[in-house]
Amino acid sequence: MTDTASLGSDEILRALMTSTNVRVIFVVTTGAAREAARRHGAVGAAAVAMGRALTAGLLLATLTKDDERVTLQILGDGPLGAITVDAAASGRVRAYVRNPAATGPALPDLRLTVRRLIGNHGFVSVIRDLGLPRPFSGRVALADGEIDTDVERYLEESEQIPSALACETLLGADLDVAVSAGILVQALPSDAGAAFVPQIKAALRSGALLSALRAKAPLAGALPDAASLARSLLASSVGDFQILDRRPVAFHCGCSRERASGTLALLGPRDLADLAAAAEPVSITCEFCRARYDFSPAELAASAVISAAPPAPP
């Protein structure tokens, strides 16, 4: 099991702008994005794609007050392959990328185009788990392969909520993650909210989040907090910016040796016995955090015996 606390400024902020009747969610994910990239060995454009997807997953997971859990998948036909994010409203998040070694043009302190890595064709898939008998799921085609605009399209087409969403993951001189953050603005039922969302969407498309990150978090300076970034983006409406709650963000993986052992047990007694007879240890690696769990031939043989045993009578 892995639970890595992110940098002190990593957090989720939920707020309400009462005059326009819109909700604002802002996340700073620098530490979590760095940790995900480190575990998968992703640098440059691959680290940017992971950071944007991780940030977008957290934004999706914080739309309700409940302990929501979201699985976000970006599946394109590019060399990076699928990106999968598992995010919870509590701020815990993990991410997996199929081919973290994929590379693309990368420069520090700029918004990178990642569509070459993601691909031109594919889709966004979202599964929401609210603790109900059946989770909600939706899927839409990729908009442009830039991840944040793709997830924005999902919200508007699949969940039919007027939304403005932007995520930025900027690189440092070493092409590792320097800062990562995202914002989601959604209209609540009102004419004012419906009019405001297109305005903030236009601002985000013109680079407002990128400019705010550069102003608040120069590569050699301190990392910003979510509230200061949100206020700088919504400067004209600071007076009615009401913070509802704040919570920390952390890279977290729920894998464990017990779960890995349960995965092995699915092989069945005969396959487990064959593995034990080979007299070589077997390793299972978690796709999300890359933690490795080793099982000796003796442990494999014991699992084979347990798996072959008849179930206990009720």
**Confidence check: pLDDT of 216 > 60:** yes
Report, as an integer, the average pLDDT of 194-201.
87
Give the CA distances from residue 218 to residues 51, 109, 172, 193, 224, in Å, rounded to whole numbers and listed in that order. 18, 8, 10, 32, 10
Residue 217 — very low, low, confident or very high, per pLDDT cuts 50/70/90? low
pLDDT at 7: 44
Distance between CA atoms of residues 171 and 220, nearest Å: 12
Report residue 310's pLDDT band, with 50, 70 and 90 as the boundaries: low
The pTM assigned to this predicted structure is 0.88
Q: Higher pLDDT residue, 23 or 222?
A: 23
What pLDDT score does 19 carry? 79
2-11, 84-93, 199-208, 236-245 — which is least confidently predicted? 2-11
| Alpha-carbon span 244 to 256, nearest angstrom | 34
Confidence of residue 226 (pLDDT cuts 50, 70, 90): confident
At 260-287, the pLDDT tens digits run 888 888 888 888 888 888 888 889 999 9
Whether pLDDT at 241 is above 90: no
pLDDT band at 3 (very low <50, low <70, confident <90, very high): low
Angstrom distance (rounded) from CA 306 to CA 269:
8
Is the model more confident about 211 or about 5?
211
Residue 214's pLDDT is 82
Q: What is the pLDDT of residue 167?
A: 97
Q: Given a cut of 80, is residue 211 above it in pLDDT?
A: yes
38 Cα distance to chain centroid: 15
Q: Which residues contact 228 (CB under 8 A, 6 or more apart)?
A: 216
Percent of the chain at pLDDT > 90 equals 53
Q: How far apart, in Å, are the Cα atoms of 256 and each of 1, 5, 261, 281, 291?
A: 5, 18, 9, 18, 9
pLDDT (0 to 100) of residue 307: 64
Query: Which of 100-109, 142-151, 222-231 has the largest mean confidence?
Result: 142-151
pLDDT at 239 over 60: no
What Cα–Cα distance (Å) separates residue 170 from each residue in 43, 59, 161, 201, 218? Answer: 11, 18, 28, 20, 10
Residue with the bigger pLDDT between 155 and 187: it is 155
Distances (CA, A) of 150 to 3, 33, 170: 29, 19, 19
Q: What are 106-134's pLDDT values in tens digits? A: 888 899 999 999 998 999 999 998 777 88
Note whether 236 and 14 are within 8 A (CB): no
The predicted structure's pLDDT at residue 118: 97
Distance CA 203, CA 279 (A): 62
CA distance 147 to 123: 10
At 39-97, the pLDDT tens digits run 999 999 999 999 999 999 999 998 866 678 999 999 999 999 999 999 999 999 999 99
pLDDT of residue 39: 95
Q: Which two tokens mark 26?
A: 């802002």
pLDDT of residue 94: 97
- Which tens digit of pLDDT belongs to each residue from 4-16? 544 457 999 999 8
